[in-house]
Amino acid sequence: MQTHHPLAGRALPGAQGRVSIRPVEDCTRFILRIDPQNLGAASSVWGANLPPTIGGLVSGSGRIATCIGPDEWYLIAPLTEQDAIESAFAALYATTIHSLVDVSHREVGIAVDGPDAVLALQASIAFDIAAMLVGSGCRTIIDRVQIILLREGQDSFRVEVWNSFSDHVWNLLAGICREIELGV
Amino acid sequence: MLLIRCPYCEAERPEVEFTYGGQAHIARPQNPSATTDDEWRDFLYIRANPRGIHYERWRHMHGCGRFFNAVRDTVTDKFVMTYKAGLPRPDQAELEAARS
Ligand SMILES: [Zn+2]
């Protein structure tokens, strides 16, 4: 397994506590594709309810599950749980057709926190961030880069971005945070 | 920035998340080997280019990933309505209802 984290060691605390960005620690990530009619079976394997509607997000015990398409879920879990999740879904395959793909190596997480987190993200995302429900997630575009955006709290967001674009998105957000810090 | 309603996400999403997929409701020939050259030409290349209401396919590429259909006015560039792929073309009454 690849342990290289392209954003390792970076952090931007941000002045006056308005908004800060930091790389999220390494975790396991999966894309699950399954017929929504079989969501109950997948939920019992996952160990928590998978959200039934697009945008829904269920988190707890270090895990996050968000529905990003009619038959598509994005799953995040601690690294130590990867093998258990993979074998549990492999057992489900005997009765229920689905696809569980490990994309851990493909993406990194950037946490965007603080009372100006909405303002910072709104600077480069086209839809109304303030109207995004707390406890929801979606695939979208930030400055022409595709990401998955999760809103975990009123002032707490998480950007999941492909490794190859992470440097660009990090520097973009760092610049925006600096502007907010300077009040420009 | 144009906002487009995705019938799968059931939300207004920004234009940059979408890609255009050409004219909608073009059925592939049921029996390709019995299709004449002229019918193939019409299927592959001949498209309507109306001034006004146009039925077209869009894909929520950088969102839920699904293709869906839309009715757009080519004069105003305003979307009249969007609906899920596979549904029949909305009739005049439905378009009027969506406009009001
Ligand atoms: Zn959608």
> Considering its fold, how many domains does chain A have in total?
2
The verdict on a CB contact (< 8 Å) between B64 and A69 is yes
pLDDT of residue B66: 97
Asked whether residue A21 falls in the same domain as residue A111, the answer is yes
> Tens digits of per-residue pLDDT, A20-40?
999 999 999 999 999 999 999
Specify the pLDDT at position A1: 46
Chosen from B2, B5, B6, B16 to mutate, greatest number of chain A CBs within 10 A: B16
Q: Does residue A111 share a domain with residue A63?
A: no
The rounded radius of gyration (Å) of the Cα atoms in chain B is 15
What does pLDDT average to over chain A? 93
pTM of structure: 0.92
Looking at A12-16, A55-59, A180-184, B42-46, which range is the least confident one?
A: A12-16
Chain B hits for A69, CB-CB cut-off 8 Å, are: 8, 63-66
The pair of structure tokens assigned to B25 is: 């409701």
Q: Which residues of B touch A138 (CB under 8 A)?
A: 9, 63
Residue A181: its pLDDT value, please? 87
C-beta contacts of B11-15 below 8 A and 24+ residues apart: B11/A54, B11/A55, B12/A127, B13/A127, B13/A140, B13/B60, B13/B63, B14/A126, B14/A127, B14/A140, B14/A141, B15/A126
| Amino acid symbol at A38 | N
The SS3 assignment for A26 reads: coil
* A73-91 pLDDT per residue, tens: 999 999 999 999 999 999 9
A11-20, A45-54, A93-102, A175-184: the lowest-pLDDT one: A11-20
Query: How far is it, in rounded angstroms, from Cα B12 to Cα B56?
Result: 18
CATH code, A157: 3.30.1360.120
Judged by CB atoms closer than 8 Å, whether chains meet at A127 and B9 is answered as no
Residue A150 lies in a domain: yes
- The domain in which residue A161 lies consists of 12-26+106-184
Of A69, A127, A146, the CB nearest to B13: A127
Q: Are residues A44 and A75 in the same domain?
A: yes
pLDDT for residue A17: 80
Would you kindly state where each structural domain of chain B is located, as residue ranges? 3-99
Considering the domain architecture, whether residues A58 and A127 belong to the same structural domain is answered as no
Provide the token pair at B5.
Answer: 């309603």
Query: Across residues A90-119, what is the average pLDDT?
Result: 96
Residue A56 phi, psi (nearest 5): -65, 145
With residues binned 3-state (H G I as helix, E B as strand, rest as coil), the percentages for chain B, rounded to 5, are: 25, 35, 45
* A146-169 per-position pLDDT tens digit: 999 999 999 999 999 999 999 999
Do A34 and A90 belong to one domain? yes
Indicate whether A52 pLDDT > 70: yes
pLDDT value of residue A16: 67
Q: What is the ipTM of this complex?
A: 0.88
Do A84 and A48 reside in the same domain of the chain? yes
CATH architecture of the domain with range B3-99: 2-Layer Sandwich (3.30)
Of B1, B12, B63, nearest to A138 by CB-CB distance is: B63
Query: How large is the angle between the packed helices A82-92 and A39-46, nearest 10 degrees?
Result: 150
Average pLDDT rounded to a whole number, residues A38-63: 96
pLDDT band for position A13 (cuts 50, 70, 90): low
Cα–Cα nearest to A142, from A116, A117, A168: A168
Q: For chain B (length 100 residues), average pLDDT per consecutive 10?
A: 94 96 93 94 94 97 97 95 95 90
For residue B100, the model assigns a pLDDT of 82
- For the stretch A55-77, pLDDT in tens is 999 999 999 999 999 999 999 99
Identity of the residue numbered A103: V
Task: Judge residue A41's burial from the number of C-beta atoms within 10 Å of its C-beta, 0-12 exposed, 13-18 middle, 19 or more buried.
Answer: middle
Domain boundary among A103, A128, A150: A103
Paired tokens of A86: 């993979």
pLDDT of residue B1: 81
